[in-house]
A = this chain, B = another copy of it.
């Protein structure tokens, strides 16, 4: 990702690149380096069917981290090469690429795979994150009861007061997840939108109802670990007894449904129904910090970087 500064037919662009893989932990300045490159911008230098654009906004999402491990861990796109510029979704001045990541992922998870019915009991983890904040609202529009888990009391408040969650809890304070789910889901869970993985998934599998759906959107608790050190989920047998459908998804496979999503969301937006929060970082230099924020409890809402005004 880079920020371009115009200068005749040659421009200077700052870009973050991967200097070393980070198999474990949050990537730091040991792994991510900023460099300035010059780009020719004559017409001949732009390949066919490509455009040059000035980046204004960058979307910072958890999957980016999984591309920096140097390990083929099975999630998402291939690993970044060493010295390769970090690619991300964004908004530019020349071509507007819609920010599809967060709202669309929530829609695929809840509406397409979750099959929500009025009265369904829906649980969303990482509920105040970029996906979770939309997921709860979408489930509410379908008549469900929605509870979210998140990492701070401020975010519990945000979920209940801004994002329409019926209830929410701070998993740091209610660390006995089994007890928490007993309390918040006395009638069990019908849909669980998985953004966390590990012990949260294990706890949920002890509270699922017959025929529950578990769309797997992400497992942010596991990204900073190599796979053999990830938390094992021991109660998958419950998936049989409760006839659960657990399904992983990447939004790239649902682009044929993007029109349906856009139409539905447009309706909600026009009615003033959708609430959201962006956690905005300023300047391309803030990329490592913004990435690390995804793995801290302080982050709420969609993380993005504003590169140019």
* Chain A residues within 8 Å of B, Cβ to Cβ: 73-76, 197, 201, 205-206, 216-219, 222, 227-250, 253
Q: What is the distance, in angstroms, from A290's C-beta to the closest C-beta of chain B?
A: 22
Contact flag A241-B206 (CB < 8 Å), given A234-B230, A247-B246: no
Check if B201 sits within 8 Å of A236, measured CB to CB: yes
B216, B236, B244, B247: the one within 8 Å of A233 (CB): B236
B73, B197, B232: the one within 8 Å of A241 (CB): B73
A-B contact pairs, 16 of them (CB 8 A): A74-B205, A74-B237, A74-B242, A75-B238, A76-B240, A219-B236, A227-B235, A229-B234, A231-B234, A232-B234, A233-B233, A233-B234, A238-B248, A240-B248, A241-B248, A243-B249
8 additional A-B residue pairs with CB within 8 Å, beyond A219-B240, A230-B235, A245-B246: A73-B241, A74-B205, A74-B238, A216-B239, A216-B240, A227-B234, A233-B236, A243-B250
**Which 7 pairs from chain A and chain B are nearest by CB?**
A232-B232, A74-B238, A240-B248, A75-B241, A239-B248, A74-B241, A230-B234
Check if A234 sits within 8 Å of B228, measured CB to CB: yes
Check if B237 sits within 8 Å of A243, measured CB to CB: no
**Copies of this chain, whole number:** 2
Q: Which residues of B contact A217 (CB under 8 A)?
A: 240
What's the Cα separation between A119 and B266 when bound, in Å?
Answer: 42
B230, B234, B237, B246: the one within 8 Å of A239 (CB): B246
What's the Cα separation between A308 and B234 when bound, in Å?
Answer: 41
Q: What is the distance, in angstroms, from A229's C-beta to the closest C-beta of chain B?
A: 8
What's the Cα separation between A218 and B238 when bound, in Å?
Answer: 10
Q: Which residues of B contact A238 (CB under 8 A)?
A: 73-75, 248
Check if B242 sits within 8 Å of A245, measured CB to CB: no
What's the Cα separation between A83 and B242 when bound, in Å?
Answer: 26
Q: What is the distance, in angstroms, from A204's C-beta to the closest C-beta of chain B?
A: 12
Contact flag A240-B250 (CB < 8 Å), given A74-B205, A205-B74: yes
Check if B236 sits within 8 Å of A247, measured CB to CB: no
What's the Cα separation between A227 and B237 when bound, in Å?
Answer: 9
